[in-house]
Amino acid sequence: MNIVACVKQVPDTEAQIKVKPDGSGIEEGGIKWVMNPYDEFGVEEALRLKEKNGGEVTIVCVGPARAMETIRTALAMGADKGIHISDPAFDGADAYTTASALAAAIKGIPHDIVFCGQRAIDDDSAQVGAVLAELLEIPQVTVVTKLEFAGNSVKVIRPIEGAQLLIECPFPCVVTAQKGLNEPRYASLPGIMKAKKKPVDVKDAGALGVSTDRKARVVRFVPPPARAAGKIICADDTPEGKAAELAKLLREEAKVI
Amino acid sequence: MAKGVWIVAEQRDGALRKISFELASTARKLADQLGEEVCAVLCGSGIEGIAGQLGKYGVDKVFVADNPALEPYTTDAHAMAVAKVVKENDPAILLLGASTQGKDLSGRLVGKFATGLATDCTDVKIADGKLLAIRPMYAGKCFGEIAISSFPQMATLRPNVFAAVENPKAGAVVKFDPALDAGQLKTKVLEIQKDTSGKVDLTEANIVVSGGRGMKGPEGYAILEELAAVLGATVGASRAAVDAGWRPQTDQVGQTGKIVSPNLYIACGISGAIQHLAGMSSSKFIVAINKDAEAPIFTKADYGVVDDLFKVVPEFAKECKKLLA
Ligand SMILES: Cc1cc2nc3c(=O)[nH]c(=O)nc-3n(C[C@@H](O)[C@H](O)[C@H](O)COP(=O)(O)OP(=O)(O)OC[C@H]3O[C@@H](n4cnc5c(N)ncnc54)[C@H](O)[C@@H]3O)c2cc1C
Ligand SMILES: Cc1cc2nc3c(=O)[nH]c(=O)nc-3n(C[C@H](O)[C@H](O)[C@H](O)COP(=O)(O)OP(=O)(O)OC[C@H]3O[C@@H](n4cnc5c(N)ncnc54)[C@H](O)[C@@H]3O)c2cc1C
């Protein structure tokens, strides 16, 4: 089976994000970069499919030079090879451009199933998987919490508002991974050693023949709207008093109950 | 020249979903500024009768595709239908819900239209005749103002953030043939397991009562369930509670859980880690009950109670019951 897993390098969730004074972007200094947590689920599922059914796992990543580290992490987990799409022209690329680059790279290799994370935790746009599927002209199942391999297709669980769907999707397809799908493994020490020797192809936009034009751009980054300072409810300082005061304020002042 | 503000309305089991009215009202506002029309696309089976309801919220025209293959929702069928009618009519702006369906469909449409999309927006405006979409990035640690240079300019709107306001317009129903290509309908929904608890999904609830590690164990949630029953709320949880196995994964609020925007969010025994705040900061009103006055959750709370939640919550439920009686 030919399996592809897309990984994005993102700031660690603990990172303090500061908007640059001119609003043109975020301050990158001091940020610790990690593999997008949802991509860890995708890589893990890819490895499990390979371990059970044989085949090969290819990691594909669009990102600057530092993103190589994230590709190596995936290789250390057990993936076989990588494609690193690296071109300064992709800085600030939008989802369409990112997906176009991924699609161009993936079209060039055999692919039965392509994993993405359901969303990247930095830009949170949650669209690359679906755009990629359309550009590859293959079906998609998004936000998947369970996956079963069924010969030439997968059966997956997809939670929606107030229900869970059991969906069957034929190969080739794109699956986007949600928490719950599996428990990603850590890279072992021998894995890390082996990863250093695994092949990673580095390609730029020219080599892939894709346009780096953007359709969407962030005009300005702004800090989150400030919330007015809250009120600490003291009342008569008993739990009962505070509870009564809270109920009253929610009803009469906030008017939300 | 691309013209008009379009929405993709959502229905399930023959009823329009609330997000459809939120989309309609928001589209109306944008369209009035542009002096253009609001059109909706509605897909499903046996749904022609409900299409007109969108008129009440400001929709001028509803394009309806009524076909058994459009029920239940699949990406393949809905993307084909929506893409066809949108391409034929060339709208300037296309809005969808940042619901599970809207998120799944919008990315696919981006691929079909080769355009830009701002997802999960908390505000949208018109600036210089173009859409300006405001969305949280980096889990709400900063916001981005997004402009799109191609058509349609696409955005998905976070559920529960935009008001649904009545503003009656014609809501004229126009049927269209979705021209589905059976060979391209690849995914099949084999089974729909409905949550029979009858509780409103966290992402759609008006009030959310959430508990964290401070609940001490699964039994602790009984007082939250009771409070939720009084308020008509849905119970959520922090990741600490989910990871401990006290609550199901589907209850998790936060960066790696659900993003909620209720009118009222009550956090009990939750410290307010940045990843939790990412999932609830766009709530309209926030209450924190925590015994630690230094807990970061208080920096986001409109009202804070510093005390033992096991003493406060049951009393609070009683008081609410009295007030709401
Ligand atoms: C200065 C700046 C400006 C930006 N402006 C915009 C903008 O205006 N509009 C916009 O849409 N985005 C913008 N971006 C974000 C852009 O760089 C994103 O990579 C792109 O939009 C994809 O969105 P996402 O990362 O949120 O992916 P999501 O759709 O949330 O990611 C889902 C999954 O897709 C895969 N994936 C995503 N990106 C990659 C990647 N690079 N390599 C490999 N796999 C990947 C991963 O599996 C990931 O889990 C900007 C970024 C910066 C730094
Ligand atoms: C990649 C990543 C993703 C994450 N995603 C999420 C996510 O989606 N959602 C999420 O919630 N977390 C997420 N987290 C975890 C997050 O960092 C915190 O660990 C978690 O939110 C803590 O949960 P908590 O507030 O319930 O527990 P704690 O931080 O332990 O807080 C418990 C609180 O309860 C209070 N308390 C205790 N007893 C009482 C009492 N009797 N009365 C009143 N108050 C009491 C304490 O004062 C304390 O403030 C993520 C972490 C990582 C690394």
Task: Give residue-wise pLDDT tens across range A131-150.
Answer: 999 999 999 999 999 999 99
Say if residues A172 and B108 touch (Cβ distance below 8 Å): no
Q: Which ligand is nearest to the CA of B296?
A: 2
pLDDT score, position A123? 82
Q: What pLDDT, in 10s, does the model give residues B234-277?
A: 999 999 999 999 999 999 999 889 999 999 999 999 999 999 99
DSSP B12: E
- pLDDT band for A64, please (50, 70, 90 cuts): very high
DSSP B199: P
Say if residues A169 and B187 touch (Cβ distance below 8 Å): yes
Q: What angle do CA B26, B27, B32 make, to 5 degrees?
A: 105
Amino acid making up residue B217: G
Pair type for strands A173-177 and A140-144:
parallel
The Cα A112–Cα B325 span in angstroms is 59
How high does pLDDT run on average in chain A? 94
pLDDT score, position A225? 78
Summary count for chain B: helices (H), strands (E): 8, 18
Q: What residues does B288 pair with on adjacent strands?
A: B267, B304
Q: Which sign, positive or negative, has the C-alpha torsion B254, B255, B260, B261?
A: positive
pLDDT score, position B174? 97
CB-based burial label for B284 (10 Å; 0-12, 13-18, 19+): middle
Reply yes or no on whether the pLDDT at A105 is more than 90. yes
Min distance B256 CA to chain A CA atoms (Å): 7
CB-based burial label for B298 (10 Å; 0-12, 13-18, 19+): buried
pLDDT score, position A22? 85
Closest residue of A to B110, CA-based?
A131
Tokens encoding B147: 């402009």
Pair type for strands A33-35 and A9-11:
antiparallel
The Cα A205–Cα A86 span in angstroms is 8
Q: What residues does A153 pair with on adjacent strands?
A: A170
Report the SS3 class of residue B118: strand
The Cα B154–Cα A95 span in angstroms is 12
pLDDT score, position A92? 80
Pick the closest to residue B204 from B102, B277, B51, B116 (CA basis).
B102
Size (chain A), residues:
257
Closest residue of B to A218, CA-based?
B146
Query: In A, residues 42-81, which contact B (CB 8 Å cutoff)?
Result: none
Number of Cβ within 10 Å of residue A161's Cβ equals 19
Domains assigned to chain B: 5-184 (3.40.50.620), 202-324 (3.40.50.1220)
Q: What pLDDT, in 10s, does the model give residues B77-115?
A: 999 999 999 999 999 999 999 999 999 999 999 999 999
Closest residue of A to B255, CA-based?
A121
Phi-psi region of B89 (alpha: psi -120 to 50; beta: other; left: phi over 0): alpha
The Cα A214–Cα A29 span in angstroms is 25
Three-class DSSP labels, chain A: CEEEEECCEEECCCCCCCECCCCCCECCCCCCEEECHHHHHHHHHHHHHHHHHCCEEEEEEECCHHHHHHHHHHHHHCCCEEEEECCHHHCCCCHHHHHHHHHHHHHCCCCCEEEEECCCCCCCCCCHHHHHHHHHCCCEEEEECEEEECCCEEEEEEEECCEEEEEEEECCEEEEECCCCCCCCCCCHHHHHHHCCCCEEEECHHHHCCCCCCCEEEEEEECCCCCCCCEECCCCCCHHHHHHHHHHHHHHCCCCC
Number of Cβ within 10 Å of residue B29's Cβ equals 18
- pLDDT band for A24, please (50, 70, 90 cuts): confident
Residue A244 C-beta-side C-alpha neighbours within 13 Å: 7
If one compares B34 and A13, the residue with the highest pLDDT of the two is: B34
CB-based burial label for B226 (10 Å; 0-12, 13-18, 19+): middle
Question: What is the helix (H) or strand (E) element at residue B123, kind and residue range?
Answer: strand B123-127
The Cα B90–Cα A37 span in angstroms is 38
Best to test chain B binding among A112, A250, A252 (most B CBs inside 10 Å): A250
DSSP B37: -
Tokens encoding B178: 């979705």
Q: Does ligand 1 have an atom closer than 6 angstroms to the CB of A112?
A: no
Reply yes or no on whether the pLDDT at A46 is more than 90. yes
Dihedral of CA atoms B200, B206, B212, B218 in degrees, nearest 10, equals -30
| Interface check B103 vs A, CB under 8 A | yes
Pair type for strands B61-66 and A113-117:
unpaired
Q: At what angle do helices A239-252 and B309-324 cross, to 10 degrees?
A: 40
The Cα B128–Cα A63 span in angstroms is 33
Question: What is the helix (H) or strand (E) element at residue B61, kind and residue range?
Answer: strand B61-66
Distance between Cα A102 and ligand 1 center (Å): 11
Give this complex's ipTM. Answer: 0.92
pLDDT along chain B (325 residues), means of 10: 96 95 98 98 96 97 97 97 98 98 98 96 97 90 93 97 96 96 95 89 95 98 98 97 95 93 97 94 96 96 97 98 93
Distance between Cα B49 and ligand 1 center (Å): 40
Number of Cβ within 10 Å of residue A8's Cβ equals 23
pLDDT score, position B37? 98
The Cα A250–Cα A233 span in angstroms is 12
In chain A, which residues have their Cβ closer than 8 Å to the Cβ of B108? Answer: 130-131, 133-134, 140
